[in-house]
Amino acid sequence: MRRFSQREGLHTLSEINVTPMLDLCFVLLVIFMITTPLLESNSDLALPNSRATSPNADPEKVHTITVDRNEALTLDGQPVASAGALRERLVALQRDRPDLAMIVRAHKTLTVQQLVGVLDALREARITKVGIVNEQAGGAAP
């Protein structure tokens, strides 16, 4: 029986296995494809003006909340002391007329957080028909 030397069996590997590298590239590609749309939230927006006329609504079912530049709240022209009092009055109105609609008129210098406080009161009162008054393209507010 002939013995082979172990030295003859040793040779250097001259090829690189690229399969794991391709797998890694495809995984990274999928990760970037998923995360890129989530990062594009800082785009500049130019909000459009409204030229449409508001639809005719029953004035008995529509109420108006006004927030002036000093954050004073009024409901249908009557002053409201606080957001809690506004919430209580909205709950009472919604209980009497479940299909009522609300219009929110806020001064343009108010922050979004102050407007969201009014919208939260409307949500807690379970009022879903809500409109926000904006300036029309002609420059006159409705």
Q: Which fold has domain 62-132?
A: Nucleotidyltransferase; domain 5 (3.30.420)
Q: Which pLDDT score is estimated for 74? A: 85
* pLDDT given at position 47: 47
Low-confidence spans in the chain with pLDDT less than 50: 42-43, 45-47, 140-142
What CA–CA distance (Å, rounded) separates 68 from 65?
A: 10
Rounded Cα–Cα distance for residues 128 and 125 (Å): 9
Closest CA to 62 of 124, 115, 134, 130: 130
Q: What is the pLDDT of residue 23?
A: 95
Q: What is the pLDDT of residue 55?
A: 57
According to the model, what pLDDT value does residue 80 have?
85
Q: Are 80 and 122 in contact (CB under 8 A)?
A: no
Which residue ranges make up each domain of the chain? 62-132
Asked if residues 80 and 117 have their Cβ atoms less than 8 Å apart, the reply is no
Taken as a whole, the chain contains a residue count of 142
Neighbours of 23 (CB within 10 A): 10
Per-residue pLDDT tens over the stretch 77-106: 888 888 888 888 888 888 888 888 888 888
